[in-house]
A = this chain, B = another copy of it.
Amino acid sequence: MSKQELEVIGQDAACCPGLSAAPLDEVQAADLAKVFKALGDPVRLRLMSMIASRGEAGEVCVCELTPAFDLSQPTISHHLKLLRQAGLIDCERRGTWVYYWVLPGVLERLAAFLTTPHPARASA
């Protein structure tokens, strides 16, 4: 039920130069785009928000997520899968229920990627 995510937002190192640091090469862009694409849907953004608002080490049961939407249960399950494949969340089954949480540090690394300034070239 784990290990299927991307390793894009680096976990260890600073994933990549930063958006403004230098032009991204095709590989970096393709990997990062998957993460942003995962966030680029209203349902998935709300799911992320509902999970993330539980705070550090917080969890949410799927049974709390599904009824918050006007969508079928398979659809919610599908969106959760995409968020997981993007490396944003993970889940664990406990008894009958499945709990989701935000992978620690992912949001911080994404934010850092967006704001890392370019290396204000000394020559200019």
Interfacial residues, chain A to chain B (CB-CB below 8 A): 19-24, 26, 29-30, 32-34, 36-46, 48-50, 52-55, 68, 102, 107-108, 110-112, 114-115, 117-118, 120
- Give the distance in Å from the alpha carbon of A29 to the alpha carbon of B40 in the complex: 9
Main secondary structure of the interface of A (DSSP, over half): helix
Q: How far is the CB of A69 from chain B (nearest CB, A)?
A: 9
- Using Cβ atoms and an 8 Å threshold, which residues of chain B touch A68? 23
- Using Cβ atoms and an 8 Å threshold, which residues of chain B touch A26? 42, 46
- Give the distance in Å from the alpha carbon of A57 to the alpha carbon of B38 in the complex: 30
A49 and B33 form a contact (CB under 8 A): no
- Give the distance in Å from the alpha carbon of A39 to the alpha carbon of B37 in the complex: 7
A115 and B111 form a contact (CB under 8 A): yes
B23 and A45 form a contact (CB under 8 A): no
- Give the distance in Å from the alpha carbon of A121 to the alpha carbon of B9 in the complex: 28
Instruction: Give the one of A49, A102, A118 with max B CB within 10 A.
Output: A49
- Using Cβ atoms and an 8 Å threshold, which residues of chain B touch A33? 39-42, 44-45
